[in-house]
Amino acid sequence: MKIVFRLIDGAVIAAGACAFGIFHLFPGFRGLIPVIVLLFLAVNIIPSPTDFTYKRRRLKVCASGVDLLFGFLLGSAITLAAHLAAGFFILPFGVLTYFFSCVISCLVLLSVFCNGIIRVYLTSVQLGIKHRVIGALCGWVPIVNLIVLHKIIRICSDEVEFENYRDLLNESRKNDAVCQTKYPLLFVHGVFFRDSEYFNYWGRIPDDLILNGATVFYGNNQSANSIADGGAELTETMRRIVRETGCGKLNIIAHSKGGLDCRYAISKCGAEPYVASLTTINTPHRGCLFADYLLEKVPDVVRNAIAGSYNSALKRFGDTSPDFLSAVYDLRSENCRRLNREISDSGSVYYQSVGSKLNKASGGKFPLNFTYPIAKFFDGPNDGLVSEYSCEWGEKFTFLTTDKNRGISHGDMIDLNRENIKGFDVREFYVQLVADLKKKGF
């Protein structure tokens, strides 16, 4: 049905361009011009009635933008053919008239293009900065602009359909509350980030979990400090949440260094009574050998300068006492080996882990595309930072990648870039992960 409306859009847009351009030169078409103009204006406002079937307004606007861009391409092709045919009748007696007709038709088509591109630029998430910039730079380069426009249409069309699929999926199981676990969820971030009003660390994941019945809390801990200090801070957070809500315990989902902080909190800081389960996501349980190498190579002056700049900057984002160097040194393989000897898992807590890997460097976003080959040299298959070997901990280990060249990075596992990855639906992965915790009685 959608393709039918897009074909109609293209025909109407072409007719509109020709009505303003060449139709007025032929008496037989003049009576149709007012009707064509009205249809043209209607298509520019509402390209397709099917756009109203989408659940979110953002998707409706983005879908309408895609329809207009598709109509622009088809309409341009039809208009070009019409002008070539009409040239045989106009050119012999009116070169100037034919020239102005072409200019007017181009301006009309340009108005449709601008209408469509503004809609997708304002509403698409998957388009990203890269394709927006490429679109702006290549928009005036013949042939190349058509290739880029086709890419933009495909990206936005796929986004609309996938996001609408997720909306319908969540709506269909809303009453099942598949993520309504016995104990609430506590999300704990990794190093060099924090949960705050300035940055949503977990991307679109929490919203989908909440739609499926989950209750979500955040660690809101320091962005960088030692594992011991992180564990102590998180223990106080757990104690406060349990006291204020009466929930009894928490299911912790911790990413990267956050998993080490939580293991320490449970074993050494008295958090054990407040934890039902701990799921670590891409956590370097055995450290990072390439981090050891980098620390050895970086001069003290440079290392201290970076640490000072970071600590100063993060105080402005809510940290009270960030400690860059303590966080980095605690991730060394030697320190993690010592940590694993000193802390033991609790018999009353369910431990499981998740890891992932990139299949090639270009599959990761900056800076993971640069760190991937270094980590691979020292640690083998990795997610851009943490090796497959280092991620595994607990009773169950889930290892993820894609069958395509891309793979799944350290940042992809927390929806850092809000990217829809073919072969891996990060939001659905977490929905099923939490649903499994519910089935286990947690």
> Of 406, 433, 409, which Cα lies nearest the Cα of 422?
406
Distance CA 235, CA 232 (A): 5
- In this predicted model, which residue has the larger pLDDT, 305 or 18? 305
Q: What does pLDDT average to over the chain?
A: 89
Summarize pLDDT for 129-171 with one digit per residue, the tens. 888 888 888 877 878 888 999 999 999 999 999 999 999 999 9
Whether residue 248 contacts residue 261, with contact meaning beta carbons closer than 8 Å, is answered with no
How far is residue 75 CA from its own chain's centroid?
A: 33
What is 179-439's CATH number, 3.40.50.10490, 3.40.50.720, 3.40.190.10, 3.40.50.1820?
3.40.50.1820
Question: Quick check: 311 and 237 in contact, CB under 8 A?
Answer: no
Which amino acid is present at 11?
Answer: A
**Cα torsion angle, 121, 127, 129, 133, sign:** negative
Q: What angle do CA 181, 183, 187 make, to 5 degrees?
A: 95
Residue 70 pLDDT greater than 70, yes or no: yes
What is the predicted pLDDT for the residue at 419? 94
Q: Which residues contact 289 (CB under 8 A, 6 or more apart)?
A: 333, 378, 379, 387
Q: Where are the domains of the chain?
A: 2-169, 179-439
Rounded to two decimals, the pTM is 0.90
Scored b (16 or more CB within 10 A) or e, 20-29 reads: bbbbeeeeee
Least confident of 17-31, 266-280, 335-349: 17-31
In the predicted structure, residue 377 carries a pLDDT above the cut 60: yes
Report the SS3 class of residue 375. helix
Count of Cβ atoms closer than 10 Å to residue 169 Cβ: 17
Q: What is the pLDDT of residue 165?
A: 95
Q: What CA–CA distance (Å, rounded) separates 436 from 143? A: 50
CB-CB contact of 430 with 205 (8 Å): yes
The H or E element containing residue 187 is strand 185-188
pLDDT surpasses 80 at 86:
no
